[in-house]
Structure 1
Amino acid sequence: MRVSDGDRERTAQQLQQAFTEGRLTHLELEDRLEIALTAKTYADLQGLVTDLPVERVDEVIDLESKSGNIKRSGDWAVPRRLRAASKYGSVELDLSQAVITHQVVDIELDLNYGSAKIILPEGAVANVDAFQSDWGKASSDVPGRPRPGSLYVVITGQAKYGGLTVRYPRRRRFTH
């Protein structure tokens, strides 16, 4: 899968951190940065950091709110398992620019009077079959079966008076 500028930048930051910690020599840093900044695929980037420590992301994170909305977007670390519960608010999880170190991510939702929106990176897939809503619906605009090399998100849980939407980021339209 092709990488974005953000992916290249995150890898470059990881390489610079390793240099700061004394894990790479100046020459190794220069060589790897050159490759990182011109990388086209995730395989190109992965080979640059396989011998470096991985920033540990908590395996399970619980997000809870009684009356407010829960929102995560931008550059944030996605755990292996994420549980989000809200009694009167909605949940919006934008994974499109997040750091995701796991091939499979489980998201469990527990909503009473709110809905959930999950935005996936291009190419990711999501299984929403185990999500139930009493007075809403689960809609997904992304494929639902696992694909080799693609992020696979499994969404479970329930909403009493809300629904679930899963989609890719909206494409920006440029005007002249």
Structure 2
Amino acid sequence: MRVSDSDRERAARQLQRAFSEGRLDEVELEDRLELALTAKTYADLIGLVSDLPSDEPRADEVVELESASGTLKRSGDWAVPRRLRASSRFGSVKLDLSGAVIEHPVVEIELDLPFGSAWITLPEGATANVDGFRTDWGRVACDVPGRRRPEALYVVITGRATYGKLTVRYPRRRRSTH
């Protein structure tokens, strides 16, 4: 799978950190940085950083969900990975994180929806950054705060929907019947 600019930048930061810790010499840093910044695939990046410690998710720790035309749906008690890529050419993506197990303070979600839409439900108090998500003919509706807060889940959503929309919200409150 091809890497994004943010994947290349993440690998470059890891290499620079390894240099500052004395794990790489200057020549090795320069050689690896050049390869990292021109990498095309995850395999290219993994080979450059696999022998180095990292606090960030490795390129091979990405969970990918794909569908040609159906709905990709996750809800209830499910384990949310640090990085999630969801793509559906003609379908939709529905991710409900409100009842999920989330072990990471930051979750990155990348969406590829040429003709689909996405609905992401966050746990109460979580925040989301949708600045990296683009839509050509749809809309983005984010009903949760965008700034990161200490001790709260922070979700970064990137990607594109050509004709679809992105909706980010908290769970709907049930109305009382009294």
Q: How high is the TM-score relative to the length of structure 2?
A: 0.66
How far, CA to CA, are the matches of 1:102 and 1:149 in structure 2?
Answer: 11
| Structure-to-structure mapping, 1:23-62, within 5 angstroms | 59-62=61-64
User: What residue is the counterpart of 1:108 in the other structure?
Assistant: 110
Q: Is it true that 1:149 corresponds to 2:155 in the alignment?
A: no
User: What residue is the counterpart of 2:67 in the other structure?
Assistant: 65
Q: 2:160 aligns with which of 158, 161, 164?
A: 158
Deviations 1:24-70 (A, max 9, x none): xxxxxxxxxxxxxxxxxxxxxxxxxxxxxxxxxx9321000001110
User: What residue is the counterpart of 1:91 in the other structure?
Assistant: 93
User: What residue is the counterpart of 1:168 in the other structure?
Assistant: 170
Q: Percent identity?
A: 73
Q: How many positions carry a matched residue from both structures?
A: 119
How far, CA to CA, are the matches of 2:80 and 2:137 in structure 1?
Answer: 29
| Structure-to-structure mapping, 1:124-143, within 5 angstroms | 124-143=126-145
- Cα RMSD after superposing both structures: 1.0
Structure 2 unmatched runs, 5+: 1-59
How far, CA to CA, are the matches of 2:86 and 2:112 in structure 1?
Answer: 6
How far, CA to CA, are the matches of 2:71 and 2:124 in structure 1?
Answer: 25
Q: How high is the TM-score relative to the length of structure 1?
A: 0.66
> After TM superposition, what 4+ stretches of structure 1 lie above 4 angstroms from structure 2?
none
